[in-house]
Structure 1
Amino acid sequence: MPDATRKTISSTQCAALVGESKWETLFTLSEWFRGNELPDEADERMSWGLKMQPLLLEQAAEDLRLEKERL
């Protein structure tokens, strides 16, 4: 869990520090330390991406001959 005082980094944030995080970048980490957290609001590109994701996953699974697993 991130430090509420913003004086230390968590083990999860360490991955962003060395460029190995799937969810955070060095930029987003530095902005978090400055108190400039990015908004969670979806913009138009995010909205389109969310709508297209199921179709893209289905086509990729078909192209790569992968079994689809429902969660």
Structure 2
Amino acid sequence: MNTTWNKTNLTLIMMDANDQKVRFSYSNIVEKPSDDQITKFAAVLEKLTNLTFLSAAIATTDNKTQVA
């Protein structure tokens, strides 16, 4: 089977001052974001939103085609 990258989604879970979780979802990001890229992006969101970063999840969608 051949695998072709289709898209990658990133979900960041943040915490507000009242200990409520806030979810940020981003679609169609780069194919394979590094841990460093995700951490730096979360740090920017922390500064912009005054929320605290808790966790991140990545979901990648690939197309699989059979080789003849």
Give the TM-score of the pair, scaled to structure 2.
Answer: 0.29
Report the structure, 1 or 2, having the larger helix content: 1
Give 1 or 2: higher strand fraction: 2
Q: Which protein, 1 or 2, shows the higher relative CO under an 8 Å CA cutoff with sep ≥ 6?
A: 2
TM-score normalised over the length of structure 1: 0.28
